[in-house]
Amino acid sequence: MSSHAAIVSTPAGLEDLIADLEGEAAIGIDTEFMRERTYRAELCLLQLTTRRGPVCVDPLAIEDLRPLGVALGAGGPAKVLHAGRQDLEVLAPLLGPVAPLFDTQIAAALAGHPAQVGYAELVRRLLEREVPKGQTRTDWSRRPLSEAQVEYALDDVRHLLPLRDLLLGELERLGRSGWLAEELAALESLDVTAVDADRAWLRFRGVEGWDEGRLQLLRALAAWRERRAVARNKPRGWILDDAVLREMVVRVPRDRAALAAIEDMPEGVVKHSGDELLALVEAAAVPEPPPPLPRRERPDPTLMARTKRLAEAAQGVAQALGIAPEVLATRRVLEEVAAGKDPAQVFNGWRAALLVDRLRAVG
């Protein structure tokens, strides 16, 4: 946008930018954020682009970005992002829902590019341009931003609209525009700000076969940590490390001495939250002594063999379509089918049309 400096850093400048966005067919969006010290990612820079060029908005200089939410909200031009879920998560608390969406990574995967193709790689493939990545480890919360930082940030949106045009044309040629519409509708329907503390325990792997008491304790401790991390806006690992939480579930400490004896348990947690944690242990009703942890069993060979056959069938379909197999069916959902779920229960839309009958035919 030639009428603006590279960075918009005043409310008046933001008003001018919003006026310039009116009537645009599409707006490219990217964000730079920090989350090392917080639970929620903190927006440090917002980049936008239209046909007139890219511009940065400095959220650390402009206290209220809500007026921009009207331009980026539901309706209006397409908002074009690349692998945009994290960007949406950062923007939603400040601007509200961003829609309608176009995600160039999703579109590229449907067109036959790698499932997780990066922005720079996609620019290289489709536009034959190089995107410098010299600022990937920069601290975006520090001011002033250098000229190199600003140019890097602008590059991250500069090519989004040409990519969209090329991908739309390619998917139209392949007859996959309907696939893209389904994928983008699913992305728009995500509640990117939701925190379900009661599902936080699902982050832990290798707990299959644990006794119900320990699983109850794991659920309780993970939910406690998640709620505290949200309330304090701190990384969950700063509240209690994964390894420490897991060791609590394994050892089931029943008094402060046992709690403090857990390796790497912070003294401050014992001092300030010990009673809460021990109450959760007691409520979980793990027997004393706790039952031994199950030995890790080898995977069921019959289940593995069926999963392999299902994967081969899905790979055959993906190969014929020229798309990555994981775009069509992940290993996790194929394992669910192998374990007895009907394919129609785990696939819908365009994937169901391609896969349900094929997978049902697998013995």
Name 34's bridge partners: 42
Residues 248-260 pLDDT 10s: 999 999 999 999 9
Q: Is 46 helix (H, G, I), strand (E, B) or coil?
A: strand
CA nearest neighbour of 57 among 29, 87, 96? 29
CATH superfamily placement of domain 7-189: Ribonuclease H-like superfamily/Ribonuclease H (3.30.420.10)
Over residues 236-249, the mean pLDDT reads: 97
Alpha carbon distances (Å) from 245 to 116, 215, 266: 32, 12, 11
Contact 88, 197 (CB under 8 A): no
* pLDDT value of position 135: 65
Query: E strand or H helix at 227, and its extent?
Result: helix 212-232
Counting residues of the chain whose pLDDT is more than 70, the rounded percentage is 97
Alpha carbon distances (Å) from 108 to 74, 155, 179, 293: 24, 19, 12, 45
* pLDDT value of position 3: 34
Contact 45, 32 (CB under 8 A): yes
* pLDDT value of position 193: 84
CA distance 109 to 69: 29
Residue 240 is given by DSSP the state S
CA distance 124 to 212: 51
* pLDDT value of position 323: 98
Q: Which CATH architecture is the domain 197-284 placed in?
A: Orthogonal Bundle (1.10)
Q: Where are the domains of the chain?
A: 7-189, 197-284, 301-360
Residues 102-149 pLDDT 10s: 999 999 999 999 999 999 999 999 999 999 876 667 889 999 999 999
Average model confidence (pLDDT) across the chain: 94
Q: In this model, does residue 208 exceed pLDDT 90?
A: no
